[in-house]
Chain A
Amino acid sequence: MVIKDEHGMAVLVDAVLFLAALSVISALMCVPHPAEEADETQAMVESFHAVMLVGETSGNGSALSQTDLASFLVLAAMDGVMSEEEVTHLDQASSGTLREANGIWRKVWWVVCIGDEERLFGQSCDGREDVYADQRSLGYGVVCTLYVSI
């Protein structure tokens, strides 16, 4: 013989629904939001690029090595083109940051545009990954962009 306690069943269903809703809300509060992670990644990329540009370029003792990277880029842009020597210097100056960033993100590359000329340092991605970028205009037609893919 089966006795149906409809009131009891209703309370039980209410309780289960309440707990299910509570669980969903708790899960939403505990799980990190993708938007926050994206913001953190973007902030980190901007921070990397900012530090990279204000750091001195290399330790070879020359006068140019004692300028920060942003100033070096502006100096390089004065004549409108980048010489191979300047490109080599930029390659050396950016290698530390790119190597460091490669340990954090999948691929990292830095693009320098002076006028119509564009140079890429590092290794770019194939376009199927999420990419974050920080672009800076330094004046005199110099635009540099640090890209990372995750």
Chain B
Amino acid sequence: MAAMAVITAASIFLVTISAGAVHTEIALNQQDIVQTLMEQDLWPKGEILTVESLSLPSETVLEMEGLQGLRLSYRLMGNQTCLLCLGDEPPSDVTVLAFRAPALLYVQGRNLAGMVEAMAW
């Protein structure tokens, strides 16, 4: 009886921990989001991103499992001023996954080093 009690209690504990980890991965999988954004030409993949022509196809991006919202920001390296922001600010009561990547941005006829930042929730 004691052995069964220990096994049951420990199993419940482990399953609870694992379920939390799995849920987080499904809800906020950075690689999946990046892959989808690359397919939409919103994330750098070795090519120039023309800032003026970017727009967020919200239906496609938000169809991803567990993703409630997404915000993308494009700016120049070392400059916090956003050249283009797509999507709404995340609500204050959600956990946000933020990630970024350097990108070559085509801005007003020039190829400039920039950054793309994403916030997903």
Listed in ascending order, the chain A residues whose CB lies under 8 Å from chain B are 8, 11-12, 14-16, 19, 22-23, 26, 30, 44, 47-48, 50-52, 54-56, 59, 66, 68, 95-100
Contact = CB atoms under 8 A, between A and B. Distances in A.
Given A12-B3, A19-B6, A19-B7, A56 B112 contact: yes
A11 to B, nearest CB: 5
Chain A binding surface, main DSSP class: helix
Contact of B18 (A15, A26, A52, A99): A26
A26 B14 contact: yes
Contacts of A51: 44, 77, 102-104, 113-114
Chain B binding surface, main DSSP class: mixed
Interface residues of B, number: 24
Given A15-B6, A96-B76, A97-B77, 12 more contacts: A8-B2, A8-B3, A12-B3, A14-B3, A26-B18, A51-B77, A52-B113, A55-B104, A97-B78, A97-B102, A98-B78, A99-B77
Nearest to A47: B102
Given A97-B78, A98-B78, A66 B14 contact: no
B7 A96 contact: no
Interface of B: 2-3, 6-7, 10, 14, 17-18, 21, 44, 76-79, 101-104, 110-115
A15 B8 CA distance: 10
Contacts, number: 69
B14 A22 contact: yes
A23 B14 contact: yes
Contact of B77 (A16, A19, A50, A100): A100
Nearest to A95: B78
Contact of B110 (A11, A12, A66): A66
Contacts of A30: 21
Contacts of B111: 54-56, 68
A107 to B, nearest CB: 15
A7 to B, nearest CB: 10
A56 B110 contact: yes
B77 A52 contact: yes
A11 B77 contact: no
Given A47-B102, A51-B104, A26 B78 contact: no
